């Protein structure tokens, strides 16, 4: 965990790195009112044994308690393909409402077909609030707004809260470039356009990404600025063209195997982080469709 503090109405941001999924979770708080939001929380899942746990989410709750914070929102940037969302667990523990982009309904439609769930309600009812482009919200006295950031997925959004923007899988650290755009519904050209919208924010806007894969063995990092991204991002720094980026992204993505938990994670995350209901024997079961992602690279 690392803590970054700013005064003058900007949020305090605490980042929590999960080494098993290379994910970063955040507690974003208003120093004036001690109100906060939790962004992209991870529910632990060990795929070899099928075990679930709440270690990551409990670490967030300990921080909230230690800092004397009150949780106002549990926010996901998109339905994740590499880890389970802990949104429902945290809602049960805090009473805070859950939220995601309204465009998640498109992802629900796509993936409920892949899982052959003909009766699945693909209308976003699994969350308390669905945000659209330009929607606003508050964390204490801090103003937040929503950017629609498709490309990595059809549903990705960016939360701009004060001088901080939570971009998750749209931009990585400058030495790592950008997120892949080859998941079902992804699109490299839309990803480029979303990135340009983010890079149009003020240069000193702090950008917080949702993953770090620690190139060349460095320590995990997750904070940069718009200025730094425009100057040195390996995929989109100033001088890069849209056509060159799309070509680079498509070529790179064709060589990447799918995330190891994509088929497990999406069936949890299109349900807002709810685990499957227990069956008659008391156990919960995941449904894994075979040959659902044709053309995916093999490891």
* Separation in Å, CA 255 to CA 186, 240, 297: 16, 22, 6
Does position 6 have pLDDT exceeding 50, yes or no?
A: no
Q: Choose the CATH number for 2-267 among 3.30.70.270, 3.30.565.10, 3.60.15.10, 1.10.3720.10.
A: 3.60.15.10
pLDDT of 87-124, one tens digit each? 999 999 999 999 999 999 999 999 999 999 999 999 99
CA angle 196, 199, 200 (to 5 degrees): 85
Who contacts 1 (Cβ-Cβ below 8 Å, separation ≥6)? 14, 15, 16, 17, 59, 63
Predicted pLDDT of residue 295: 87
Dihedral sign of CA atoms 195, 231, 235, 18 in order: negative
Does position 218 have pLDDT exceeding 80, yes or no?
A: yes
* Separation in Å, CA 188 to CA 99, 170, 193, 197, 269: 25, 11, 9, 14, 23
Work out the mean pLDDT of the chain and round it to a whole number: 95
Does position 3 have pLDDT exceeding 90, yes or no?
A: no
Residue percentage of the chain with pLDDT more than 90 = 94
Does position 7 have pLDDT exceeding 60, yes or no?
A: no
Domain ranges of the chain: 2-267
Q: Label the pairing between strands 12-18 and 223-225.
A: unpaired
Q: How far apart are CA 234 and CA 240, in angstroms?
A: 9
Does position 86 have pLDDT exceeding 80, yes or no?
A: yes
Predicted pLDDT of residue 124: 98
Residue 273 phi/psi, 5° resolution? 90, 10
Q: How far apart are CA 145 and CA 124, in angstroms?
A: 19
Does position 221 have pLDDT exceeding 90, yes or no?
A: yes
Lateral strand order in the sheet of 70-75: 2-4, 12-18, 23-29, 35-39, 70-75, 98-101, 129-131
Torsion-angle region of residue 134: left (phi > 0), alpha (psi -120 to 50) or beta?
Answer: left
CA angle 194, 106, 247 (to 5 degrees): 40
Predicted pLDDT of residue 5: 39
The arithmetic mean of pLDDT across residues 53-79, rounded, is: 98
pLDDT of 265-277, one tens digit each? 999 999 999 999 9
Residue percentage of the chain with pLDDT more than 70 = 97
Q: DSSP string covering 40-103, please?
A: S-EEEEETTTTEEE-HHHHHHHHHHHHTT-EEEEEE-SS--SSSEE-HHHHHHHH-PPEEEETT
The arithmetic mean of pLDDT across residues 139-166, rounded, is: 97
The arithmetic mean of pLDDT across residues 120-148, rounded, is: 97
Predicted pLDDT of residue 9: 64
pLDDT of 164-191, one tens digit each? 999 989 999 999 999 999 999 999 999 9
How confident is residue 299, by pLDDT bands cut at 50, 70 and 90? confident
């Amino acid at each position: 965990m690392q803590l970054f503090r700013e005064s003058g109405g900007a949020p305090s941001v605490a980042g929590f790195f999960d080494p098993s999924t290379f994910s970063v979770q955040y507690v974003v708080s208003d120093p004036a009112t001690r109100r906060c939001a939790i962004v992209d929380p991870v529910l632990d899942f060990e795929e070899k044994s099928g075990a679930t746990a709440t270690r990551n989410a409990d670490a967030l709750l300990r921080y909230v308690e230690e800092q004397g914070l009150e949780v106002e929102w549990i926010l996901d940037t998109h339905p994740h393909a590499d880890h389970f969302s802990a949104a429902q667990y945290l809602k049960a523990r805090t009473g805070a409402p859950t939220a995601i982009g309204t465009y998640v309904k498109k992802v629900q439609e796509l993936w409920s077909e892949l899982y052959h769930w003909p009766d699945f309600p693909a209308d976003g009812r699994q969350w308390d609030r669905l945000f659209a482009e330009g929607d606003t919200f508050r964390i204490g006295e801090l103003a937040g707004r929503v950017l629609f950031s498709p490309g990595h997925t059809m549903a990705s959004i960016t939360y701009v809260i004060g001088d901080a923007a939570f971009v998750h899988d749209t931009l990585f650290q400058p030495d790592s470039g950008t997120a892949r755009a080859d998941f079902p519904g992804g699109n490299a050209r839309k990803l480029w356009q979303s990135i340009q919208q983010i890079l149009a924010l003020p240069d000193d806007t702090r950008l917080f990404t949702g993953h770090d894969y620690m190139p060349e063995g460095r320590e995990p990092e997750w904070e940069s600025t718009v200025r730094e991204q425009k100057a040195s991002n390996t995929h989109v720094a100033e001088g890069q063209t849209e056509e060159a980026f799309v070509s680079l992204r498509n070529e790179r993505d064709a060589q990447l195997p799918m995330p190891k938990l994509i088929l497990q994670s999406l069936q949890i995350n299109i349900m807002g982080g709810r685990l499957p209901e227990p069956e008659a024997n008391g156990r919960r079961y995941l449904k894994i469709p075979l040959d659902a992602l044709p053309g995916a690279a093999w490891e």
